[in-house]
């Protein structure tokens, strides 16, 4: 019959092993804490210096340009890029020191997790820069489309400019997420499907609704050099002096009254010039 192990001896050996491991682990914990405290101090100092330098060189003016965009105004928030850059730099430096602390502890799982976060931060910074540039570009295009529509007296100038802004903003967001390493295939396919259907429906509806306006606008290109203010012309039975020519209509002074013709009649009616 086998002899049973001595319970007292087993317990003593177990406790002795635990104590030895604890004594060996304490210096690692203290070293990790020291490294972490140094990292917090270094991160705060560098973040403070970067924030002051960026504020002095006028880096926040870019953020002020972003704050003027209507959508950002509706969020009731203020973007200050010097604070954002300083905060990102603070956490990046802190994560680097946390990585060193976990390596001191010798816990491989924690070290790998923190290292993955450190490697992820540059991707997030690149995505943020891409998003900022994309928002500025989308707002610039929105203003250009709005001014172009206003010059042609298109009543839907605000709607068209906002559609352009949202379109490029969504493209920018998808590109930024892809830059950050997030899979956007499903989002891209859904967006393409929605945009394709929306553009098709809008093109048909808007084309039917504004065909007369577009006809007048196209007529203005052909008639711009032929008809000028002060000329005497006759359209069918109406004779008078041209007092105004804009992008969609022509105004004649006919005696005591004025008559307004859409510009497309210059291409479809008989016009006599005196």
Asked, for residue 135, whether it belongs to a domain, the answer is: yes
Instruction: pLDDT band for 62, please (50, 70, 90 cuts).
Output: low
% of the chain with per-residue pLDDT over 90: 1
Asked, for residue 25, whether it belongs to a domain, the answer is: yes
- Residue 172: CB partners within 8 Å, gap ≥ 6? 130, 131, 133, 134, 135, 137, 138
Q: Which residues pair with 242 in a beta bridge?
A: 252
**Contact between residue 87 and residue 47 where contact means Cβ atoms under 8 Å apart:** yes
Selection from 228, 218, 216 nearest residue 263 by Cα: 216
Count of the separate structural domains present in the chain: 3
CB atoms within 10 A of CB 114: 19
Q: Are residues 158 and 71 in the same domain?
A: no
Q: Are residues 199 and 266 in the same domain?
A: no
Q: What pLDDT does 1 receive?
A: 45
Domain final residue pick, 157, 181, 209: 209
Q: Are residues 253 and 165 in the same domain?
A: no
Q: Are residues 12 and 98 in the same domain?
A: yes
CB atoms within 10 A of CB 240: 18
Outline where DSSP puts E strands in the chain: 232-235, 238-245, 249-254, 257-262, 271-273
- Tokens at 173, concatenated: 């967001």
**Contact between residue 102 and residue 110 where contact means Cβ atoms under 8 Å apart:** yes
Cα 113 to Cα 102: distance, rounded to the nearest angstrom: 10
Q: What is the pLDDT of residues 1-43, one digit of tens each?
A: 455 556 776 667 777 677 766 667 777 788 888 888 898 899 8
- DSSP designation for 225: T
Q: Are residues 101 and 5 in the same domain?
A: yes
Q: What is the pLDDT of residues 146-205, one digit of tens each?
A: 888 887 777 677 888 888 888 888 888 888 888 877 887 877 777 777 777 777 776 676
Q: What pLDDT does 45 receive?
A: 92
At which residue do the structure tokens 């995505």 appear?
A: 127
Instruction: pLDDT band for 129, please (50, 70, 90 cuts).
Output: confident
For residue 185, give the CATH number of its domain.
1.10.287
Asked, for residue 116, whether it belongs to a domain, the answer is: no
Q: Are residues 233 and 197 in the same domain?
A: no
Q: Are residues 93 and 132 in the same domain?
A: no
Asked, for residue 214, whether it belongs to a domain, the answer is: no
Outline where DSSP puts E strands in 70-227: none
Domain final residue pick, 155, 178, 209: 209
Full residue range of the structural domain in which residue 181 is found: 125-209
Q: Are residues 200 and 233 in the same domain?
A: no
At which residue do the structure tokens 């359209």 appear?
A: 235
Q: Are residues 184 and 268 in the same domain?
A: no
Asked, for residue 24, whether it belongs to a domain, the answer is: yes
96 or 269: whose pLDDT is higher? Answer: 96
Asked, for residue 86, whether it belongs to a domain, the answer is: yes
Asked, for residue 269, whether it belongs to a domain, the answer is: yes
Asked, for residue 112, whether it belongs to a domain, the answer is: no
For residue 250, give the CATH number of its domain.
2.30.30.60
Domain final residue pick, 159, 180, 209: 209
% of the chain with per-residue pLDDT over 70: 72
């Amino acid at each position: 019959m086998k002899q049973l192990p001595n319970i007292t001896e087993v317990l003593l050996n177990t406790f002795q092993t635990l104590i030895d491991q604890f004594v060996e682990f304490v210096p690692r914990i203290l070293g990790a804490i020291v490294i972490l405290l140094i990292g917090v101090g270094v991160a705060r100092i560098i973040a403070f210096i970067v924030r002051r330098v960026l504020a002095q060189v006028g880096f926040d003016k870019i953020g002020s340009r972003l704050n003027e965009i209507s959508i950002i105004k509706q969020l009731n928030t203020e973007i200050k890029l010097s604070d954002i850059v300083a905060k990102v730099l603070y956490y990046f430096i802190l994560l680097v020191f946390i990585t060193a602390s976990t390596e001191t502890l010798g816990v491989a799982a924690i070290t790998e997790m923190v290292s993955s976060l450190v490697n992820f931060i540059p991707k997030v910074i690149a995505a943020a820069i891409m998003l900022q540039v994309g928002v500025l570009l989308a707002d610039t295009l929105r203003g250009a489309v709005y001014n172009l529509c206003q010059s042609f007296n298109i009543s839907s100038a605000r709607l068209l400019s906002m559609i352009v802004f949202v379109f490029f903003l969504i493209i920018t967001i998808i590109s930024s997420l892809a830059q950050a390493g997030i899979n956007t295939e499903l989002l891209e396919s859904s967006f393409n499907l929605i945009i394709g259907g929306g553009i098709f429906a809008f093109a048909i509806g808007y084309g039917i609704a504004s065909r007369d306006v577009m006809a007048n606008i196209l007529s203005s290109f052909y008639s711009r050099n032929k008809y000028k203010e002060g000329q005497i012309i006759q359209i069918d039975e109406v004779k008078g002096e041209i007092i105004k020519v804009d992008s969609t209509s022509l105004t004649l002074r006919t005696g005591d009254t004025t008559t307004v013709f859409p510009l497309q009649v210059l291409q479809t009616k008989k016009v006599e010039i005196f």
